[in-house]
Chains A and B, each alone.
Chain A
Amino acid sequence: MNILSAHLLSLILFLPLVGAVVLLAFPAAKVKAIRCVALVASLIPLALTLVLWGSYRAALTVGEFKFVENYPWFTSIGSSYHLGIDGVSLVMLLLTTLLTPLAILTSFNIKERVKAFMILFLVLETGMLGVFMALDLVLFFLFWEIGLVPMYFLINQWGGEKRNYASLKFILFTMGGSLGLLLAIQMIGVVCGTFDLVTITASWPALQGGELFGIPIATVKAIAFWAFVVAFAIKVPVWPFHTWLPDAHTEAPTGGSMVLAGVLLKLGGYGFIRLVLPLFPAESARFASWLAALATAAIIFGALAAAAQTDFKRLVAYSSINHMGFVVLGIAAAAWAGGQTNPTLRESAVIALNGAVLQMFNHGLTAAGMFFLVGVLYDRAHTRQLAEYGGLFAILPVYGAILVFISMASLGLPGLNGFVSEFMIVRGVWPIFTLFIALAMIGLLFTAVYVLKALKLTLHGALNEKWVGKLTEISRRELVVIIPLMLLVVIIGWWPAWILNLINQTVMTWF
């Protein structure tokens, strides 16, 4: 038992991969067994994450991580297998291990090549989990990149009509973005002589004055900073790096979209918090307003674009840009305040960063829920055009109620989860970027516009007669997927303390 508890993170990390290898041995025809194994292989990490949650005791000093595992891996370049978590990573781990089984359960409707689908999905989970645990830059990059491959194939093989275009765009955008990240990581590794994040966090920011490669060190750092930022900004995505997202999300199979919006986008936000802020405190403070401006643009344009869509899934996809914009805005405010000494401003920054992390979790729940609900409708109607729906409340009352519920959470209705985090971000950012947050409010208004538009065109109005008798009510399996999400939406809406405390303890050590 001792060995198990000392390697809890590795266990969570590799169990999905083990599940994938086990599935490899299954005959492809045994669809039911394959589905069950995949589901179980993703449920065990969830259970273990809950164990992790229960036994987690917050670190009190900056740079202290829990459940650390550190073994030599690629010694000739100074990279090690170094895992560890703090409160922020723990929240992200919970999100990942929660959404993956739900997405797998959703994907029970996949009929073609179930085995390959499930294997890819489990590999994807390992990739995502690794990013949230890695404390070594090379290891971080490894997991960061490795998740792209299964996602590419999920979109490319099980996606919609434009899947070839969408999947290639997705992977090339992300790989192109991570090119700068890779080069910057190599450069930092060469300068610091190690890739260990904890060591680098201590030595790299302290490096000031003088020259590197014949260029003033400040310039090198500024370039490296932007290399990191672009990689993460593409993933989040921040305007104007977002154009891969609507295509990828729209074309991906439902389970893929859930994880894509629910977890993959958070990798970008997490990258900002885990790497950009600690490694480039000075540059973050210096360029924070640029980042905030881009985030504000993402909020406004994301909402406007969503409001203009005629395709339900594309609408939801654009709404992700809008919601993730708040995350980046909160992070930008924290970045800016990192360079300040005024205690009120720093307190606001803590609130903003707390809000940003919680918003990531919340958006994970609602975006996954929205994509799921769009998928439920698409599975039955085989169209995503809003204009072809209409009046569905009359024939799908339960589904309609759930759609309204999740939409309200996404819109930020008080009492539901989105409100808590968005309010915290608005409250935290206000004294720091007053203008930007005021502008972002316009975005918030349009959020209401597109959400209501979607509800109106699908559920209300005249019933499109062709659906009568054709559309069936949400099934029991589908209810099992959505109910946990709905419960969490309400719980966080009324009592966010259980999760906020965890985030806050970690964030407080940074300020």
Chain B
Amino acid sequence: MPVPLLSILALTPLAAGIIVLLLPAEKRSLIRGIAFATSLFTLVVSAIIFFRFDTTAGGYQFIEKMNWLPALGISYHMGVDGIGAAMELMAGIVVLSGVMVSWRVEDRPREFFAFLLFLAASVFGVFASLDLFQLFFFFELAVFPKYLMIVMWGSPKTREYGGMKLTLYLFLGSVVALIGVLAVYFTSGLRSFDMLALEQAGLALEFQRAWFLVIFVGFGVLGGLFPFHSWAPDGHVAAPTAVSMLLAGVEMKVGVFAALRAGLMLLPEGMRYWAPLILVLATINVVYGAFIAMIQKDFKYVIGFSSVSHMGLVFIGFATLTREGLTGAGLQMFSHGIMTALFFAVVGMVYDRAHTRDIRELGGLFRTMPIAMLGFVIGGLVSMGMPGFSGFIAEMPIYMGAWKTAPIVAIISALSIVITAAYILLVVRRVFFGETPEGIRAGLSDISLMDKIVVVLLSLILIVIGLFPSVLVPWIEAGVRHILVLTGGA
């Protein structure tokens, strides 16, 4: 029997989280050590999965299947396609980075790291789920650690509001999606939640059209789809650094991934029918998100809204239903995950030292934290779609997909490139250059070695993908081929 890599990946953090909770709270180093070792281990496992994934063969690989609740047609069914494999790797990188930047959490580290590991288990599980119920199970597993981490470790002023808003939005979205999932379950007549079977169920056209929006938008809420995006900036800002990284970096991808799996892949006709609407909403995401990011005064809100803008591009890629668009969307999911984790990590490092996130009160930080500045600039270049960085590699195919289906979408959303450049450059200049205001000078120091490793690692990934797209593209394309078979596209 082959090693059940995907189960190991998803269940190790769960087990480690429980073990951490059972330890005495004083054993801080041990707790940190376990969290670090676990996240390093999951990164290695996700890398093994990624590199052992056969991109020429495509399809679903590393499949594990067991009966779970056979009476209800629920099975424990793990497997990844190329996109899933890439997402697992991305999540592995972000989780490890999140643990590393949280090294100095002093307030109840035991609970903090345990919850962080639960969150990791949830995302690893979703990306590998081939059973709708199981997907839902892992999807919802994230709710309680997310909520608790925001309200317990979040920024004091907004954590209750932000945590509550985020949880209610996502709950609402997932309830709606659950209704849709149940509709698929009953209508298919298969009495099974197995997605591989449901993909082939040949659901009626009218059904697909009627129920598509329920599932796609329900999950899409977590992806930040306009007009259901407003939880994202508030939630991201309220959350502690590592959670912001995971929320914006990975959780938003969990949302679009679930929307892709359960919405697009089970109801392709529905996607085709509703594509114009999704394109319109996503274009609003892209342009409106960028404009709102530009007027923010809070460093972290800028990044929060930029995520809304960038996730719009993923939805555009999906809605084009073309090979290019879908490939770009997958690349953007990966690229944005790493980029936004980098952003939030740097924002957290700045906040820890300056104790403010108001852009007007910051300045001149490159003197004390040059590496953090460099990381933020590289993240910014990715964000503005600068060629040579991963953002361009992702956006280019998305735009090409848009040109094939709705050129006007490409033209309008391209506006966001210049707006993004403007706000990123302004933020970089105000926060990292110029004079350091008197008020924040006292607390400034360079970032720790752990932090530096994170910043450099994430930055390098963004550059390498930008210069050598072939390190990632074949995986995404392997996934896209399968999707195109389902949608009947070329």
Contact = CB atoms under 8 A, between A and B. Distances in A.
B399 A186 contact: yes
B397 A76 contact: yes
Given A175-B418, A175-B421, 6 more contacts: A76-B323, A76-B397, A157-B433, A179-B414, A182-B414, A182-B417
B407 A213 contact: yes
Interface string A231-259: 00000000000000000000000000000
Nearest to A173: B418
B473 to A, nearest CB: 5
Contact of B418 (A73, A157, A176, A190): A176
The 7 A-B residue pairs with the shortest CB-CB distance in the complex, in nearest-first order? A142-B387, A190-B403, A74-B469, A146-B388, A145-B387, A213-B407, A186-B399
Interface string A172-208: 1001100100110011011000000000000000000
Indicate the member of A72, A73, A75, A186 with the most B CB atoms within 10 Å. A186
A482 B17 CA distance: 68
A138 B418 contact: no
B469 A73 contact: yes
A189 B397 CA distance: 10
B324 interface: yes
Task: Identify whether the interface residues of B are mostly helix, strand, loop, or mixed.
Answer: helix
B285 interface: no
A133 to B, nearest CB: 15
A183 B393 CA distance: 15
A176 B403 CA distance: 19
A171 interface: yes
Contacts of B384: 175
B182 interface: no
Nearest to B327: A76
Interface in B384-408: 384, 386-388, 392-393, 396-397, 399-400, 403-404, 407
B234 interface: no
Contact of A156 (B327, B381, B429): B429
B429 A164 contact: yes
Contact of A171 (B327, B425, B469): B425
Interface string A136-154: 0010011111100100100
Chain A interface size, as a band, is 20 to 34
B396 A156 contact: no
Contacts of B407: 187, 213
B387 to A, nearest CB: 4
Nearest to A187: B403
9 contacts: A74-B393, A76-B327, A77-B397, A141-B387, A145-B386, A145-B388, A164-B429, A171-B425, A186-B399
A168 interface: yes
Given A75-B470, A145-B386, A175-B417, A168 B396 contact: no
Interface in B414-431: 414-415, 417-418, 421-422, 425-426, 429
Contacts of B387: 138, 141-146
B426 A168 contact: yes
Given A76-B473, A157-B433, A172-B421, A183 B400 contact: no
B298 to A, nearest CB: 21
B376 to A, nearest CB: 13
Nearest to B384: A175
Nearest to A191: B403
B411 interface: yes
A502 to B, nearest CB: 30
Interface in B185-239: none
B410 interface: yes
Given A146-B387, A171-B421, A179-B417, A186 B327 contact: no
B433 A183 contact: no
Nearest to B401: A190
A475 B154 CA distance: 60
A146 B384 CA distance: 12
A172 B422 contact: yes
B429 A186 contact: no
A251 B384 CA distance: 24
Nearest to A127: B388
A73 B387 CA distance: 13
B160 interface: no
B477 interface: yes
